[in-house]
A and B are shown apart, each in its own frame.
Chain A
């Protein structure tokens, strides 16, 4: 063990800063003890007490650096670093921040977003603080009371700040995705406004594959287009996107008619599509195409901006023989919007499916649906209850699929696989034992660049006999044809 001492004259350094510097130096490799102190009599005694042998005759105003290390060289390095820290006066500040630090962390050229995923009961105060500090919010949390949502969105609107959500899974800001989002490749300036998370994801992925680049996707949460919220954030998003986008796509579910009217009017001239999932009608108003199907919406958007007329869809594989005993269609989804869209497609094809989140209330079902055609949203509250969301942990949904595939009365199994940031590392974990007794149909919502590896996921599914589509709508269509 070697010791070395350095005296610094003519400097005043705060004693607490010296303590901080001492602790920093002690972290260096090979240093066993380090002490930087003002060389008062008391402090010199202290140094002796802890085992140093400080030189005598040191002026009480000077600073003494005392080092004990495994070699003379390590002592030298420690002394040099201590002197450097004393000179620059910089020691790490706390690097943890709280909401109170927001005003100091936001620069004038920032688009600040506070991303909130706490339990819903705490969201109100966090959003309030964020808005007060001039930050937009993306509320991933659900279970935020509607009256709170209204107050927060009203406040946000008065400040020109976005309150995205609650229950908002996805947003895209200037090309970057927040929450569940996919690695999109196409650059562009199309804007999306969505009240549904997986709806935005599916829309963005299909647009991306077909040459439409997205700059913004504002998630307004499932209540925004209904009473009492009445589209506060949808309207604000529309105004925001009209200033910076060449085309706009809306994706939502059961909007209030008056809110829808106001939005359609507001869209005006800008090339746009308004996708109200499950809607039967298809029509044009102004420069907006209204539809109930995501793929249809993408096709029309493509034609409006001159990218060709239709979305490229994958062909159906050759039909195979299926036993007449197999009668049931069993769909289990992690994406609520994809479940909803699938139901509309299937009903339209005469396959009447029941659901825990039905498009038509006469087809509502509880926990007891063993002998029915179903499309179940496994991400709905009653299924999730305390467990991680199936997009984050799909194993429980996947084990249901495995069990169903062993049944002899099931004709078609339909499901979705969602890739991208935030989704599980392996979204098809637990599917190993799935058997293609029934026809297995899946859609993958993802891009070639997604972190899970689109091609390898696709191959693994196809190896198990799953018929895979890039589009959820197309998969539902195929499932419908297999029911005839």
Chain B
């Protein structure tokens, strides 16, 4: 048995699965109803495993807000006590077929999107997009946040449920078209959000509260974020667990640790410390206010979007004072650490070359090139929200550890 051959065969298989999958938005429903294994005391969070007590402030606050939303606590202090009590089962979203941006808190009473990869039958889930400013995913917990969540779960969720059950939405198609329109789908979502809205508008406007929902979605520049994320996870998950494969199937952060998972090492987290993202700030904020990198949105880079697709959206490099050349370089570095290129998601500026697809831990270890992640920057205090945009990277340590574990597992 030639290990090198086995690795190539396994990677080809994993890559093909990632490459040819589809992501169809089929449903919206309560997390407690549709997420397999979700119990009444389950609280999902972004990133690799972390205890409540160790969470960064925005994530803790989001947990507290969620518990108030669920009616389980009457105040943030009470919610905090409950969370510390050990009564709740905190799990990474990824371990329950889900993803959530920023704090990524999903509790049973929240509506989630349901995305399916038809060839493989696997489903993924993600919470609803709240918008910008004071929102739960950045740890805001005031009345307006909870009121909005209530409205969303009573209007947005059920409305979208009706709409997509009538006509499911091909999310990968939207992603591909949007990338050709200048979205890279981690920081830029304008085109994809509008394409989605356009896609559902006929059925949406038939609903009695259709105009209200339409207006809500239309105002949210990044609405598609919460659909693109489960779409990418739906494409990646069937490629997980392929013996010998060295391709990365998950990348995610919780503000303290950055975790990756590798196809041939199913179920294992390899972690390292997160970076504090570097970038450009909104008025009144600066680098010293920034929180460590958090959110499951690095699933975008895992499938070749976001930082790896920078060449499709060069203005994003402006966050770090970059130019078009820097954007192209970020994508070119991506090609150096991936197995191949997407057949469907193409970058016009690179002569319609497919985005880099299938991050290979062997290539990362031999080049020390880390994928660039285009990310929003959050305030380290709960509730203030996004304070800028910029760039971060996973820790090399996670890739080193994964390779060492691979060697031990496969007897290299």
Which A residues are closer than 8 A to B by beta carbons? 14, 16-17, 19-20, 22-23, 26, 33-35, 40-42, 45-46, 49-51, 91-94, 100-101, 104
Contact = CB atoms under 8 A, between A and B. Distances in A.
Nearest to A34: B283
Interface stretch (B301-309, B318-326, B356-364, B404-412): B318-326
B389 interface: yes
A94 B389 CA distance: 16
Given A14-B315, A20-B280, A50-B284, A94 B131 contact: no
A23 B319 CA distance: 11
7 contacts: A16-B315, A16-B316, A17-B315, A20-B318, A34-B283, A51-B284, A94-B323
Contact of A42 (B131, B321, B326): B131
Interface in B276-320: 280-284, 315-316, 318-320
A101 B324 CA distance: 12
Contacts of B389: 16, 19
A91 to B, nearest CB: 8
A16 B282 CA distance: 10
Contact of A49 (B131, B133, B221): B133
Nearest to A52: B283
Nearest to A51: B284
B282 A19 contact: yes
Contact of B325 (A14, A16, A101): A101
Contacts of A49: 133
A33 B325 contact: no
B322 A94 contact: yes
A5 to B, nearest CB: 14
User: A-B pairs with the 5 shortest C-beta distances?
Assistant: A16-B318, A94-B321, A35-B283, A93-B323, A50-B284
Contact of B133 (A16, A22, A42): A42
Contact of B283 (A42, A50, A100, A104): A50
Given A40-B219, A42-B219, A49-B133, A19 B280 contact: yes
Contacts of A91: 318
Interface residues of B, number: 23
Contact of B281 (A23, A34, A94): A23
A40 B190 CA distance: 13
Contacts of A19: 280-282, 318-319, 388-389
B72 interface: no
B12 interface: no
Given A20-B280, A40-B221, A42-B133, 5 more contacts: A19-B319, A51-B284, A91-B318, A93-B322, A100-B329
Contacts of B133: 42, 45-46, 49
Contacts of A100: 329
B283 A26 contact: yes
A51 B282 CA distance: 13
A104 B280 contact: no
B132 interface: yes
Given A16-B315, A41-B219, A42-B133, A23 B325 contact: no
Interface in B257-287: 280-284
A53 to B, nearest CB: 14
B147 to A, nearest CB: 15
Nearest to B284: A50
Contacts of B325: 101, 104
A51 B285 CA distance: 13
A94 B318 CA distance: 9
A94 B326 contact: yes
A25 B320 CA distance: 17
Contacts of A34: 283
A466 B364 CA distance: 62
A406 to B, nearest CB: 54
Nearest to B318: A16
Contacts of B388: 19
Contacts of A14: 315, 318
Nearest to A94: B321
A91 B315 CA distance: 12
A49 B386 CA distance: 13
A92 B323 CA distance: 10
Q: Identify which of B283, B318, B321 gathers the most chain A CB atoms within 10 Å of its CB.
A: B283
Interface string B227-266: 0000000000000000000000000000000000000000
A23 B321 CA distance: 11
Interface in B131-157: 131-133
Nearest to A35: B283
Interface in B382-408: 388-389
With most chain B CB atoms within 10 A of its CB, the pick from A33, A34, A42 is A42
B319 A92 contact: no
B388 to A, nearest CB: 8
Nearest to B220: A42
B190 to A, nearest CB: 9
Contacts of B318: 14, 16-17, 19-20, 91
A100 B280 CA distance: 24
Given A42-B219, A93-B321, A93-B323, A33 B316 contact: no
A101 B320 CA distance: 17
B132 A42 contact: yes
A94 B325 CA distance: 11
Interface in B105-150: 131-133
A78 to B, nearest CB: 13
A93 B282 CA distance: 18
Contacts of A23: 280-281
A322 B280 CA distance: 74
Nearest to A38: B221
Nearest to B321: A94
B157 to A, nearest CB: 21
Nearest to B388: A19
B216 to A, nearest CB: 11
